[in-house]
Amino acid sequence: MHPAVFGGTGHTGRHVLDQALAQGHTVTALARDPRGLPAHERLRPVAGDVRDADVVKQVIAGSDAVLSALGQRRWGSTVCTDGMRTILPAMQAHGVARLIAFSGYGVADSRHRNLYVAIARDDYACRAVAITS
């Protein structure tokens, strides 16, 4: 497969990237500073911010799935919501139907308020499923 990866420089995302590459996938990854991404022949780094709709479209073009490990290191960031609002339209524009988003939100007490499911259903009328453990 050819996944587009967001948040690949983070604590969770670096494992997502490592596993995707180890399984033989070709990856395009967006990072604000691509020096934080591993050097690999099957990894195409793209520099940019997930809030930039144009660069997000470039990352998703040619992909067949999106993996998001976007997160926030400071309280009050809206990067996950902002990211979905650029990622989902880009997926629709390029006919990409698979999104896997890693999030602690939606687990336990917040299980009925999953951020990604709510945005996908309410803003984009997508079929969305949350898998929590």
Ligand X SMILES: NC(=O)c1ccc[n+]([C@@H]2O[C@H](COP(=O)([O-])OP(=O)(O)OC[C@H]3O[C@@H](n4cnc5c(N)ncnc54)[C@H](OP(=O)(O)O)[C@@H]3O)[C@@H](O)[C@H]2O)c1
Q: How far is the CB of 131 from ligand X (least distance, A)?
A: 13
> Using an 8 Å Cβ cutoff, are 37 and 68 in contact?
no
User: Interface with ligand X includes 106 (CB under 6 A)?
Assistant: no
Region of 18-26, 55-63, 72-80, 89-97 interacting with ligand X (CB under 6 A): 72-80
The H-or-E segment that residue 117 falls in is helix 115-124
Q: How far is the CB of 84 from ligand X (least distance, A)?
A: 11
Query: What is d(CA 96, CA 74) in angstroms, rounded to the nearest whole number?
Result: 30
User: Interface with ligand X includes 111 (CB under 6 A)?
Assistant: no
Query: What is d(CA 58, CA 19) in angstroms, rounded to the nearest whole number?
Result: 23
Nearer to ligand X, 69 or 96 (CB): 69
18 Cβ neighbours under 8 A, 6+ residues apart: 38
User: Interface with ligand X includes 34 (CB under 6 A)?
Assistant: no
- Radius of gyration of the chain from Cα atoms? 14
Length of the chain, in residues:
133
**Which residue from 3, 4, 10, 119 is in contact with ligand X, where contact means CB under 6 A?**
10
Residue ranges binding ligand X (CB under 6 A): 7-13, 31-33, 36, 49-51, 69-71, 73, 79-80, 102-105
